[in-house]
Structure 1
Amino acid sequence: METTRHFVATVYVVESGAVALHEHDKLDMWLPPGGHIDRDELPHEAALRETSEELGFDVALLAPEGDLESETARSIPQPQHFLLEDINVTDEGVGHQHVDFIFYGEAPHREIDPEPGEQPAGDWEWFTAAALRNRDDLPADVAEVGQRAIETVESEHNA
């Protein structure tokens, strides 16, 4: 079986010690904002676009940028994690995977106002690190990365 892979970008959006998640209507699991990277986009651009569409506001990415630059290459903002995620698994194997560029972002507030066609604001919840640890209905990677995002954003404020 041939595996189809798509490139996606995800942002764990943090505000005041909590991360925004929604129960994805198609995948039936709790996830942060994110989606497919368009052909003309870089990963960090897709991350910002998806967050703006889904949450209705802009975030500040915590994405280190290298200092390599030449006449033909330049550094771009780096994700905090790269994950290979199985999306469609059957008895014959994995049919579809996402190569996910995971970013952390800081929100200016918690007022979610999605663009038309996105899941409604009422589908979103803000999870503290303790809530992420104590919920058994969250994917393990979502809970772990969410806690790391909260810790990283909070440490930026204390630095």
Structure 2
Amino acid sequence: METTRHFTATVYIVESGAVALHHHERLGIRVPPGGHVDRDELPHEAGLREVREETGLDAELLDGTDDVDAPAGRVLPRPRHQMLYDINVHPDGTAGHQHIDHVYYARVDSREIDPAGDDEADTEAWEWYDETELRESDVDPDTVQFSLEAIEAAENVASTAAE
């Protein structure tokens, strides 16, 4: 049986030491903004689009990718992680559908979530989690780990900018 794979992008957005997660109705878990990469998009563009659609916020990627002198090319923001997630698993244990997820970290300037898309989670589905709340939550371990890393990355950028 063939496995269908789709590219996706997820962005952990940070504001003042907290990450925004929403309750995903169908999956029954808390997740950051994200979704499928469209045919005409690069993964980081899809992630930023998903942030705008799902939260109404404009995000700035926390990107540590070095520039490369390439006359015929350009450097793309490097995801912090690339993950392979099984979306539906058949009784024999094989995955029928998988997501190849590009995970990015970003900063936003506000916690005022106002979804811009028609089919997005309501504002009430979103919560901001700081480090303590993440560690004490029942949020999935990978989401906690990536959230904590995003908070640390945002703090490192802020402290470097202050110097």
> Normalising by structure 1, what TM-score?
0.94
1:131 to 124, 133, 136: 133
- 1:144 aligned partner: 145
1:98 is aligned to 2:99: yes
Name stretches of at least 5 consecutive residues in structure 2 with no aligned partner.
Answer: none
Distance 1:112 1:69, change over 3 A: same
The one-letter amino acid paired with 2:100 is V
The one-letter amino acid paired with 1:29 is I
Deviating 4+ runs (over 4 angstroms):
none
Task: Quote the offset at 1:85 in angstroms.
Answer: 1.1
Corresponding residue pairs, total: 158
- CA distance in 2 between partners of 1:30 and 1:50 (Å): 16
State the secondary structure of the residue aligned to 2:50. helix
1:57 is aligned to 2:57: yes
Distance 1:88 1:69, change over 3 A: farther
The one-letter amino acid paired with 2:50 is E
Task: Quote the offset at 1:65 in angstroms.
Answer: 3.0
CA deviations over 1:69-104 (Å, ceiling 9, x no partner) = 434432111111111111112222111111111000
Name stretches of at least 5 consecutive residues in structure 1 with no aligned partner.
Answer: none
- Structural mapping, 1:9-158, within 5 Å: 9-92=9-92, 93-115=94-116, 116-136=118-138, 138-158=139-159
What RMSD, in angstroms, separates the aligned Cα atoms of the two structures?
A: 1.2
State the secondary structure of the residue aligned to 2:134. helix
- CA distance in 1 between partners of 2:156 and 2:36 (Å): 29
Q: Percent identity?
A: 49
Task: Quote the offset at 1:155 in angstroms.
Answer: 1.6
Is the 8 Å Cα contact of residues 66 and 76 (structure 1) preserved in structure 2? no
> Normalising by structure 2, what TM-score?
0.92
